[in-house]
Amino acid sequence: MRDGQPHNICLIADDDLFIRKVLAKHLDGLTEVVQTADGGDCLKAYKERRPDIVFLDIHLPILTGIELIDQILRIDPEAFIIVMSSDSTVENVQEALRRGARGFLAKPILKDRLMHYLNKCPTLRWADDKSSTG
């Protein structure tokens, strides 16, 4: 939990409603989920909520995921950003990591890969174990 927040917060930025809903279902009970469908709303939500972790689609309208990595890290150099895309070319993965993303999830997103990154996030806190509400 960051900045004295009473609970974990996750931001999901993806223009595909289905992807947002699937991720939100996987995160249910673990963290509050904030969802946005474009880069502009994502940046605004980041500034307002300061989430523990961001799952960021690489191809977003208004601002791309790559552009958002730069902007979010300017606001918060400690941001924990995971880029996700079905366009998981070596170039996209390398560029996201070079810009400061902490990881890359290929779509379709598998729950065990999602949990891997949740477990790596240093500010997420769990009541008892990784499956309890936080």
Tell whether the model's pLDDT for residue 1 goes beyond 50: yes
Query: Among residues of the chain, what percentage have pLDDT more than 90?
Result: 78
Number of domains forming the structure of the chain: 1
- At residue 125 the predicted structure's pLDDT band, cuts being 50, 70 and 90, is confident
The encoded tokens of residue 74 equal 């300017």
Nearest to 84 by CA among 40, 117, 129: 117
26 occurs within a structural domain: yes
Taking only the tens place, the pLDDT of each residue in 4-46 is: 778 899 999 999 999 999 999 999 999 999 999 999 999 999 9
Residue 127, pLDDT score:
63
Residue 56 vs residues 52, 71, 107: alpha-carbon distances, Å:
13, 13, 12
Q: Cis peptide leading into 6, omega within 30 of 0?
A: no
The answer to whether 35 touches 43, Cβ cutoff 8 Å, is no
pLDDT at residue 5, as a whole number:
77
94 in any annotated domain: yes
Contacts of 17 (CB under 8 A, 6+ apart): 37
Q: Could you tell me the CATH number of the domain that includes residue 62? A: 3.40.50.2300
The whole-chain average pLDDT of the chain stands at: 90
Q: What domain range is 80 assigned to?
A: 9-120
**Band of pLDDT at residue 134, cut at 50, 70 and 90:** very low
User: Taking residues 119-134, what's their average pLDDT?
Assistant: 68
**Residue 84 is assigned to a structural domain of this protein:** yes
Asked, for residue 107, whether it belongs to a domain, the answer is: yes
Residues 6 or more apart whose Cβ sits within 8 Å of residue 94: none
Sign of dihedral through CA atoms 79, 23, 61, 51? negative
Q: What is the pTM of this model?
A: 0.90
